[in-house]
Amino acid sequence: MSENVLHIEHLTMRFGGVVAVNDLSMDINKGEIVALIGPNGAGKTTAFNMVTGVYTPTEGKVTLLGKDITGKRPDEITKLGIARTFQNIRLFSSMTVFENVLTARHLRRTSNFLTATFRLNLAEERKMRAETEALLREVGLYELKDEMATSLPYGKQRLLEIARALSTNPSLLLLDEPAAGMNPQETEELGAFIKQIKEKFDLTVFLIEHHMNLVMGISDRIYVIDFGKQIAEGTPAEVQDNPAVIAAYLGVEEESDLPSEEPTEARGAEKGSGLPLEDPRASASAAPPEARGPQKAETRGAEKEVDQ
Amino acid sequence: MWSTVFPYLLSGISVGGQYALIAIGYTMVYGILRLINFAHGDVFMVAGIIMVYMAASGVPLWLCIPLVLLLTALIGFVIERVAYKPLRTAPRMSAMISAIGVSYTLQNLVLYITGGLNQIYPTIPWISDSVTIFGATTKMVTVITPFLTLALVVALVMLINHTKIGMAMRAVSRDFETSQLMGIKINRVISTTFVIGTFLAGVASLLYFTNYTTVIQTSGAMPGLKAFVAAVFGGIGSIPGAVVGAFIIGIAENIIKGLDIILFKAGIVSGPLGLATFSDAFTFALLIIILAVKPTGLFGEKITDKV
Amino acid sequence: MNRKKIDSATIISAVIVLALYVAVFVAEQFIPATSMLFTVLKKGATYALVAVSMNLLNGFTGIFSLGQAGFMLIGAYVYGIFTIPVLSRMDVYQYYNGGLVQFTLPVFIAMILSGLAAALFAFLIGLPVLRLKSDYLAIATLGFAEIIRALFQWDKLGPITNGSNMLRLFPTFNDFNIRGADGQVVVYLSTLVPLLISGVCIGVIILLINSTFGRALRAIKDDEIAAEAMGIRLASHKRLAFCISSFFAGVGGAMLAMYQTTVQAKSFTTAMTYEILLIVVIGGIGSVTGSCISSFLFVACSEWWLRFLDQKQMIGTFEVPLLRNGFRLVVFSIIIMVVVLFFRQGIMGTKELPDLIRGLRGKRAKGGADK
């Protein structure tokens, strides 16, 4: 067993009466690609938001490389080595591609505002710029570096989000539906790209994804959650054959067939919006981004809009 | 002691009622559009100016009053259509800047018309008469303001709770987009909100300027800001909250105005502290405290709006 | 500059600015000092600094603050309090027995102190206020400015602030002129120096905006959640922007005191903040160049070019209607509303002078300059 990167213990998140994530525990080891899947509204993004500090978990503990990060601020957690992308792209819209990536290096600065303003940090600034250029070459966005970020085509914007996340020097990369809205060919390329950057940047990858081809193709292990609760864990092959998973995705008449307990208010008609695992064609082409609108939650007194 | 405090308390309740009528306009507009209508205080001032000019041009007072209210409501309607409606889909900052622009425009317009001179407010019979209650001499308007305010608030709450347009207003303030999808005529709801809000500001202007007797282009700025603070204090979006907040602020402000004398007579201090300087500032200190401690205000619901 | 190579557009911009300074210096020696031109340049320089400082918050960090007048007030008072000559203090603080402060600081040290005092207040007020959402923050900062205004008028602070009486007799812009032994002015600098002070301060703000910290601030403006996820600590960066903005608003306040030659707390009203906000909007929220151009235009129009609207004008025997005191402001208001409603980009949008020279459209300054 290699070194543990992320350890999640009994993580629970409640919004009022709704339990979005219920007693979730998982482990991710160094160098792994681990996927978190589940039907719409299963609590996947909520789990991400707890790991990255956007939400403070109601209960439970998150450990990064042996260090407890539960309840820390998002920026602190990013400094400790977790970077993420967003399901609904959140690029800096007033900036170019280059500036987007460069800005994400800000957290590794040693200058303060005075030395930076009066250009006493020239060496560092040059280094930041050189590293940014190198990174952009690496991910194939160098030619587009002076374009406005939001003028890029959709697929490139997703790529830029990944590049920006990489720019923070993470040891763990969280990808929230990186293939959403991509066509099958782009999705395939993305899979290869994720594997490639994992090797190059010595990363561990944790992703949420609906495109089953992608998930099954690149993941070492998969966690499946439904109604906030883990219903399965294992290699792609194991998960595909798990009856509970099939039930969760296809929907079943008898609720008692499910191993998980049903919170009554959590979800109604969304059953079946997930995809049959047996039909890879359908899953590759038609997987919709999560249908639910943005949901609000209270974090440290500030109101934030975060996708559920 | 009581005889020293009572006059201040009385004028506090009175001015509190006037703030309440202005505050309702803020709170309703904010509830629906999430917009601080910075021009609302200036509409209140313009209502005062219209009264001055109308009375001076020989229109009998009994006719002036309804006309002023009508015109004020019309101004509210026009401002919304001209200055806010085009910006409804723009970033919130744009609408707020537009509101500040309207405020600036109204003040400058009145400055131009009046030449920047204090205008004497016409004396409205009966409510301008002096009365003595519990040994304190004051104008009738001081006494009737709280009652009139409460009556109007009750009427308004009934309107909101028991009529179709009131239901539409509640729906829109809950969820703008969804209610639009549900077929609610959003423009009509917003216009109605502005008309009601400015109408009440018109009533407030009748009461307020009868008490203070002069109007100038900046007369609306301070009462406007204070009424807004009252709305925030009570929990923005909540009408009872705005009313309670307004009374608290009105009373506190007037007590502070008299605090030097009250403290002196009570034997606590031996000389003036000049605390009256802070009668306006206190309102804002209260605002900052409430925002820091309980941003949703006294009666505010947790706002789950789209940021 | 932290770019690999400073591009030609930036150099041309610098040359243009330098040429303007030389032109002002020359003009000042030959045109009578009473010319309206100099009034506009002095006041414009002051407003430009304050407008740019406000833009740093509203345009570059996305914090909608309306406390500018309060910070200017602090700056103006600190400047006045510490620069009134000791001999004049008895005159100024006549109701307070000459006041408490019995020493005088050099002008430039007092100006820096003005900025620091404003920044200190900003730091304190920022603790509760910066956590608030956009419109609540606006109203809270506005309220803060009103509190400051009352505080400085408080009789009990009179020995320091002179209560509700005005501060005066401190060094003004005219004291920058170099006089000969006979008291005659040898070299006129009363316009150039304020322009230089303002220029240096704005230069520092531009450097900040283009530094790694400036990028972080813009990231916060664009998307707080993404910025935080990229490791940018929101609270400390917002506080930094708020304090720096207030520092320069404080220096601007000191300049306003010098321009006006007197200071009185009651004139630093909300209306003053609104005026500066409207200048920023006209110039373009997010453009330093825009704020500067708009400041000079605004001041020139209100003090000079549109003055005729306030007086009766005769064309032959025909009296132009509507023209009388206050009409200028009405015209002004209408222009502002037109800009707010129909030209929301303002004069410059988010472009800067070098962008214009480069002629690049739709690209930001730095994007083009990275080559």
Q: In the structure, what pLDDT confidence band is assigned to residue A1 with cuts at 50, 70 and 90?
A: low
Look at residue A197 in the predicted model and tell me its pLDDT.
94
Q: How confident is the model at residue A245 (pLDDT cuts 50, 70, 90)?
A: confident
Residue B304 near chain A (CB below 8 Å): yes
Q: Does residue B292 sit at the C interface (CB-CB below 8 Å)?
A: yes
Size of the B and C interface in Cβ pairs below 8 Å: 135
Neighbours of A229 (CB within 10 A): 22
> For position C141, what pLDDT does the model report?
93
A101-124 tens-digit pLDDT: 999 999 999 999 999 999 999 999
Rounded Cα distance between B293 and B300, Å, is 13
Non-local (6+) Cβ contacts of C115 within 8 A are C75, C247, C248, C250, C251, C254
A245-257: average pLDDT:
64
Which residue of A298, A301, A303 is in closest CB contact with B307? A303
Bridge partners (DSSP) listed for residue A61:
A9
Tell me: the pLDDT tens digits for C199-248?
A: 999 999 999 999 999 999 999 999 999 999 999 999 999 999 999 999 99
Query: Do A12 and A59 form a contact (C-beta atoms < 8 A)?
Result: yes
Candidate from C139, C140, C329 with C-beta closest to B112: C329
Q: How far apart are CA B242 and CA B22, in angstroms?
A: 9
Residue A254 has a pLDDT of 46
pLDDT at B137 > cutoff 90: no
Residues 251-290 of B with CB under 8 A from C: 272-274, 277-278, 280-281, 283-285, 287-288
How far apart (Å, rounded) are the C-alpha atoms in residues A102 and A163?
Answer: 10
Q: What is the mean pLDDT of residues A130-146?
A: 94
Q: What is the nearest CA distance from A188 to chain B, expressed in angstroms?
A: 35
With CB atoms and an 8 Å threshold, state whether A305 touches B304.
no
pLDDT for res B194:
95
CB atoms within 10 A of CB A301: 8
- Pick the residue from chain A with its C-alpha nearest to C130: A302
Q: For chains A and C, what is the number of CB pairs under 8 angstroms?
A: 145
Inter-chain CB proximity A119 and C1 less than 8 Å: yes
Q: Determine the average pLDDT of the residues in C320-335.
A: 85
End-to-end, the C-alpha distance of chain A in Å comes to 33
Asked if A174 and A82 touch (Cβ cutoff 8 Å), the reply is yes
Q: Is the pLDDT of residue B183 over 60?
A: yes
Would you state the pLDDT for residue A120? 92
Mark yes or no for CB contact C226/A86 under 8 Å: yes
Is pLDDT of C362 > 60? no
Tell me, what's the pLDDT at C192? 95
Instruction: For A238-302, give the DSSP string.
Output: HHHH-HHHHHHHH--S-GGGSSS---TTT-STTTT-S--TT-HHHHHHHPPPP-SPPEEEEETTE
A304 pLDDT exceeds 60?
no
Q: Around Cβ C163, how many Cβ atoms within 10 Å?
A: 20
| Residue-level pLDDT at A151 | 94
Helix and strand element counts for chain B (H, E): 12, 4
Gap between the Cα atoms of A198 and C335, Å rounded: 57
Q: How far is B297 from chain A, CA to nearest CA, in Å?
A: 14
Percentage of chain B beyond pLDDT 90 is: 53
- pTM for this model (two decimals): 0.89
* Nearest Cβ partner for B101 among C132, C156, C340: C340
A297 interaction partners in chain B (CB closer than 8 Å): none
| A87 or B4: which leads in pLDDT | A87
Determine whether the interchain pair B285/C334 forms a contact, defined as Cβ–Cβ distance below 8 Å.
no
Interface partners of chain B (CB pairs < 8 Å, 3 or more) are: A, C
Among A32-36, A183-187, B91-95, C171-175, the range scoring the smallest mean pLDDT is B91-95
> For the residues A15-36, what does the mean pLDDT come to?
92
Minimum Cα–Cα distance from C274: chain B residue? B100
pLDDT, residue B302, reads: 54
Residue C134 has pLDDT above 90, yes or no: no
CA distance C25 to B141: 62
Which residue in C61, C135, C160 has the most chain B C-beta atoms within 10 A of its own C-beta, making it the best mutation to test that interface?
C135
* 3-state DSSP assignment of residue B294: coil
Residue A2, pLDDT above cutoff 50? yes
Please state which CATH number belongs to domain B2-293: 1.10.3470
> Given an 8 Å threshold on Cβ–Cβ distance, is C154 in contact with B274?
yes
List of chains touching A (3+ CB pairs within 8 A):
B, C
What is residue C365's predicted lDDT score, i.e. its pLDDT?
A: 45
Considering only CB atoms, A106 lies closest to which of C1, C226, C232, namely C232
Sign of the CA dihedral with C232 first, then C234, C236, and C242 last = positive
User: Is the pLDDT confidence value at C343 over 80?
Assistant: yes
**Averaged pLDDT score across all residues of chain B:** 89
Q: Do B229 and C341 touch (CB under 8 A)?
A: no
Which of the four pLDDT bands, split at 50, 70 and 90, describes residue C5?
Answer: low
User: What pLDDT, on the 0 to 100 scale, is given for residue C229?
Assistant: 95
What DSSP assignment string belongs to C85-151?
Answer: -GGGHHHHTGGGTT-S------HHHHHHHHHHHHHHHHHHHHHHHTTS-HHHHHHHHHHHHHHHHHH
Of the given ranges (A196-210, C72-86, C298-312), which has the lowest mean pLDDT?
Answer: C298-312
pLDDT at A115: 92
Tens of pLDDT, residues A204-219? 999 999 888 899 999 9
Inter-chain residue contact A126 with C234, CB threshold 8 Å = no
Q: Is the Cβ of A106 closer than 8 Å to some Cβ of chain C?
A: yes
Nearest to B23 by CA among B175, B216, B226, B186: B226
- The answer to whether B255 touches B232, Cβ cutoff 8 Å, is no
A109–C225 C-beta distance less than 8 A: no
Site from C215, C218, C352, C360 to mutate, A interface, most A CB atoms within 10 angstroms: C215
C contact set with A (CB within 8 A): 1-2, 4, 131, 133, 204, 207-208, 211-213, 215-216, 218-219, 221-234, 240, 244, 286, 350, 362-364, 366-368, 370-371
Chains that touch C (3 or more CB pairs under 8 A): A, B
Chain B contact present for C134, CB below 8 A: yes
B34/C140 CB distance under 8 A = no
pLDDT of the residue at C369: 38
Task: Go through the domains of chain C in sequence order and give each one's CATH number.
Answer: 8-269 (1.10.3470)
For residues A131-144, give the mean pLDDT.
Answer: 94
Task: Output the average pLDDT for chain C.
Answer: 90
Tell whether B181 is within 8 A of chain A (Cβ): no
Mean pLDDT across B122-145: 84
Average pLDDT over residues A127-146: 94
Q: Is B291 on the interface with C (CB under 8 A)?
A: yes
- pLDDT for A274 beyond 80: no
Q: Are the beta carbons of B303 and A305 separated by less than 8 Å?
A: no
Q: Closest Cα partner for C75 from C246, C222, C210, C309?
A: C246
Give the percent of chain A with pLDDT over 90. Answer: 65
Q: Is the Cβ–Cβ distance between B76 and B41 less than 8 Å? A: no
Residues of B in contact with C274 (CB under 8 A): 100, 103-104
Q: Which residues of A touch C226 (CB under 8 A)?
A: 86, 90-92
Judge whether A130 and C4 are in contact, CB under 8 Å. Answer: no
Per-residue pLDDT band for C133 (boundaries 50, 70, 90) equals: confident
Contacts of B34 in chain A (CB under 8 A): none
Q: How far apart are CA C23 and CA C19, in angstroms?
A: 6
Distance in Å, alpha carbon of B292 to nearest chain C alpha carbon: 5
Closest to A80 measured CA to CA, from A1, A5, A21 = A5
Distance (Å, whole) CA B97 – CA B86: 13
Q: Do B104 and C278 touch (CB under 8 A)?
A: yes
**Residue range A1-72+205-308, CATH number:** 3.40.50.300
What is the phi/psi pair of residue C29, to 5°?
-75, -25
Whether residues A96 and C219 touch (CB distance < 8 A) is answered with no
Q: Which residues of C touch B288 (CB under 8 A)?
A: 125, 128-129, 140, 143-144, 147
Q: How far apart are the CA of C1 and the nearest CA of chain A, in angstroms?
A: 7
CB contact under 8 A, B306 and A305: yes
Is the CB of residue B307 less than 8 Å away from at least one CB of chain A?
A: yes
Cβ of residue B292 closer than 8 Å to a chain A Cβ = no
Residues 107-166 of A with CB under 8 A from C: 107, 109, 111, 113, 116-119, 121-122, 125-126, 128-129, 145-148, 164-165
Bridge partners of A295?
A306
Question: What average pLDDT score do residues B217-236 get?
Answer: 91
pLDDT at C367 over 70: no
Chain C residue nearest residue A162, CA to CA:
C230
- Beta strands A33-37 and A221-226 are parallel
Task: Name chain A contacts of B304, Cβ cutoff 8 Å.
Answer: 296
Q: Is the pLDDT confidence value at B172 over 50?
A: yes
Q: Do A164 and C232 touch (CB under 8 A)?
A: no
